[in-house]
Amino acid sequence: MSTLTGKVAVVTGASKGIGAGIAKAFGAAGASVVVNYASDKSGADKTVDTITKAGGKAIAVHGNVSKLEDAQAIIDAAIKAYGHLDILVNNAGVFEFSPVEAITAEHFHKQFDINVLGLLFVTQAAVKHLGKGASIINIGSLASAGTMPGSAVYSATKAALNAVSTVLAAELGPKGIRVNALNPGGVITEGSQAAGFTDDNPFVKTMIAGTPLGRLGQPHDIATAAVFLASDDAGWITGQLLNAGGGAR
């Protein structure tokens, strides 16, 4: 794996699932990691424990990314703990599926506030600390391809994330800051299991059948790619929407 020695990273929504996988891989690669969580303190503490027990550095920091002052506080905590910031992973996100007939303003705002506005708030707070060589990774989704019935709002938030990624790559490039989206396909996490996306779910079966590598993803699959994008080995990669989905589209 690429090295992140001496770098400081913030991972939002890192108490479980993909975010926790990324935080742990960053810690293992040598970064000091701020493990952000919105509600699951014990999950975040577990992530921190895993990193520190493996000899790495990490702290858990509470904050709801969709609140401006929380977004600021997450970044402030990174600077206070480690003195600088090099890597931001905008991973915090929620998903909620609904057929078009059932879409409500609440369903819309809940997802757009966290998945898009929250991403912008945290990035806004981070960017004044990020310098040449810094890396922002936005965790999107293959859903942005817009092929999943019942996911209009969720998929729209992820399409927005793609657009924000390429806009910010152009906007922050002159400062030497790279911005990429890392877009997982179906990943087995606590969240997806709780939502009923288990192996016997017909939707999951279809998803596996549509994946050339023939399985669902694991958080670790996404985390190893995130370590690359965070590292100087990806120094020439910016503005990319990288699907991490085993070839699924």
| Piece in contact with another protein (CB under 8 A), picked from 38-46, 64-72, 108-116, 241-249 | 241-249
Task: Rule CB under 8 A: choose which of 12, 178, 188, 189 binds another protein.
Answer: 178
**Which residue number, 55 or 236, has a Cβ lying nearer to another protein?**
236
Interface with another protein, residue 213, by CB under 8 A: yes
For the question of residue 82 being annotated catalytic, the response is no
- What angle, 0 to 180 degrees and rounded to 10, lies between the N-to-C axes of helices 41-53 and 17-28? 20
Residue 197 has φ and ψ, to the nearest 5°, of -85, 65
Identify whether the C-beta of residue 165 lies closer than 8 Å to the C-beta of residue 239.
yes
Beta strands in 21-152 (DSSP E): 32-37, 57-62, 87-90, 135-139
| Piece in contact with another protein (CB under 8 A), picked from 65-73, 116-124, 196-204, 232-240 | 232-240
**Which residue number, 93 or 245, has a Cβ lying nearer to another protein?**
245
Interface with another protein, residue 162, by CB under 8 A: no
Task: Rule CB under 8 A: choose which of 6, 146, 173, 196 binds another protein.
Answer: 173
What mask, x for binding another protein by CB under 8 A, covers residues 1 to 40?
xxx-------------------------------------
Tell me which amino acid residue 133 is.
G
Identify whether the C-beta of residue 205 lies closer than 8 Å to the C-beta of residue 145.
no
Task: Rule CB under 8 A: choose which of 80, 170, 196, 198 binds another protein.
Answer: 170
- What is the distance in angstroms between the CA of the first residue and the CA of the last residue of the chain? 26
Neighbours of 42 (CB within 10 A): 10
Identify whether the C-beta of residue 3 lies closer than 8 Å to the C-beta of residue 27.
no
Q: Is 212 helix (H, G, I), strand (E, B) or coil?
A: coil
Taking CB under 8 A as the criterion, which residues in 60-89 touch another protein?
none
Interface with another protein, residue 174, by CB under 8 A: yes
**Which residue number, 26 or 82, has a Cβ lying nearer to another protein?**
26
Shortest distance (Å) from residue 102 CB to another protein: 33
Whole-angstrom Cα distance, residue 238 to residue 55? 31
Whole-angstrom Cα distance, residue 111 to residue 217? 23
Task: Rule CB under 8 A: choose which of 58, 172, 207, 230 binds another protein.
Answer: 172
Whole-angstrom Cα distance, residue 98 to residue 150? 5
Query: Annotated catalytic sites, by residue?
Result: 154
Under the rule (CB under 8 A), what is the footprint of another protein?
Answer: 1-3, 166, 169-170, 172-174, 176, 178, 211-214, 217, 221-222, 224-225, 227-228, 232-240, 242-247, 249
